[in-house]
C-alpha cells in the first residue's frame, strides 16, 4: 500500500498569505513605481524615500489588504485549479495533459482575479496612501475598514473597478504559476533522479517562474507586467482600461514597464515561497489517501 497526501481547498490561500508576508515590501515598492506619473525614482530610490519619510514599518503598509487579497484571489484560483485537477486525475489513468492544465489555470485565475478585485483595489490604495497630501489620504484602518468604506461611500461598482485588468492578469499569472509548476514538477519527478521533497519543490517552482512562465505561456513577462502596470494604475488613477491605455501611452512606451524590475524581483520569491509553503501544508496536514 502507498500513501499520498492531497491538498485541502484552502491551502493555496494560506500558502499565498505566508509568501505575501515575506514579499510585501517589494509589492509596495512596485505599486509606488507604477503609480508615479513620471519616472522619477527607481526601486532602491523609492525604498530609501519610503523608509526616510515614513519609517521601516511603512514598507508593510497595506499588509492586511494584501492578506485579504490572497484569501480571496489566490484562495479562489488555487481551490478551483487543485480541486478540478485532483477530481479529473482520480478518474483518469494519469496526470492531466499540459493543455488542460493551461485552460484550467486560465479559468481559475480569471475567476480569482474577479473575486479578488475589491481587496486588490483597497490594497493599492493603502499602499499608495502615504504618497498623498495628508488632507487627501483615506487612512483606512485595515482591509475590512477599507472595503466597508468603499462600499458605503462609493458603491458596489467601485469595489469592482479594474476587474477586467485584474481578471486578465489573474488568468495569465495562474497559467504561468500553477500549470507550469505542475508540469515542471511532473518532469522533474519523471527523471527518477529526485524524490518528492523540498528541493524538488524549489526547483519546480523556480523553473515555472523563470522559464515556463516567461517562455511557454503565450504572453511574455513584459506583457504580464504591462497588465500589472495597468491594473495598478487603473484602480487609483483612471476611469477604465481604455482611458488607462490612452493616458499611459502619452508618457511613452517605457511607462508600461516602470514596475518591471520590482514586479519580477517580487514574482520569483513569492512564487517559490508559495509552492514550498503549499507542499509543506499538504505533506503535514493534507488529506491522506491510501492506495
C-alpha span between 173 and 217 (Å, rounded): 9
Q: What is the DSSP letter of 141?
A: S
3-class SS of residue 167: helix
C-alpha span between 227 and 162 (Å, rounded): 11
Which pLDDT belongs to residue 241?
Answer: 52
The pTM score is 0.79
Interstrand relation of 287-290 and 3-6 (parallel, antiparallel or unpaired): antiparallel
C-alpha span between 213 and 270 (Å, rounded): 14
Find which of 24-28, 57-61, 246-250, 270-274 is predicted with most confidence, using mean pLDDT.
270-274
Give me the domain span that covers residue 277. 3-290
Report the number of distinct structural domains present in the chain: 1
Of 95, 110, 80, 82, give the one whose Cα is nearest residue 6.
82
Instruction: Note the pLDDT tens digit of each residue in 53-65.
Output: 888 888 888 888 8
Distances from the Cα of 31 to the Cα of 9, 21, 79, angstroms: 29, 16, 27
CATH number of the domain enclosing 115: 1.50.40.10
Amino acid at each position: 500500500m502507498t500513501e499520498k497526501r492531497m491538498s485541502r481547498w484552502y491551502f493555496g490561500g494560506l500558502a499565498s498569505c505566508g509568501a505575501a508576508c515575506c514579499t510585501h515590501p517589494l509589492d509596495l515598492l512596485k505599486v509606488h513605481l507604477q503609480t508615479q506619473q513620471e519616472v522619477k525614482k527607481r526601486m532602491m530610490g523609492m525604498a530609501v524615500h519610503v523608509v526616510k519619510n515614513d519609517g521601516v514599518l511603512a514598507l508593510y503598509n497595506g499588509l492586511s489588504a494584501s492578506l485579504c487579497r490572497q484569501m480571496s484571489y489566490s484562495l479562489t484560483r488555487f481551490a478551483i485549479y487543485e480541486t478540478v485537477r485532483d477530481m479529473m486525475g482520480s478518474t483518469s489513468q494519469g496526470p492531466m495533459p499540459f493543455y488542460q492544465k493551461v485552460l484550467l489555470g486560465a479559468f481559475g485565475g480569471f475567476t480569482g482575479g474577479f473575486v479578488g478585485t475589491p481587496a486588490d483595489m483597497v490594497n493599492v490604495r493603502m499602499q499608495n496612501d502615504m504618497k498623498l497630501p495628508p488632507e487627501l489620504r483615506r487612512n483606512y484602518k485595515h482591509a475590512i475598514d477599507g472595503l466597508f468604506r468603499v462600499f458605503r461611500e462609493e458603491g458596489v461598482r467601485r469595489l469592482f473597478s479594474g476587474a477586467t485588468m485584474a481578471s486578465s492578469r489573474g488568468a495569465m499569472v495562474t497559467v504561468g504559476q500553477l500549470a507550469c509548476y505542475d508540469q515542471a514538477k511532473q518532469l522533474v519527478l519523471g527523471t527518477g533522479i529526485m524524490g518528492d521533497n523540498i528541493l524538488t519543490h524549489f526547483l519546480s517552482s523556480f523553473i515555472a517562474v523563470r522559464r515556463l512562465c516567461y517562455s511557454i505561456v503565450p504572453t511574455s513577462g513584459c506583457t504580464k507586467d504591462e497588465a500589472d502596470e495597468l491594473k495598478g494604475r487603473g484602480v487609483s488613477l483612471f476611469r477604465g482600461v481604455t482611458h488607462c491605455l490612452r493616458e499611459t501611452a502619452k508618457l511613452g512606451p517605457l511607462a508600461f514597464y516602470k514596475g518591471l524590475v520590482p514586479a519580477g524581483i517580487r514574482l520569483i520569491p513569492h512564487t517559490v515561497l508559495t509552492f514550498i509553503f503549499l507542499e509543506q501544508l499538504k505533506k503535514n496536514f493534507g488529506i491522506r489517501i491510501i492506495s
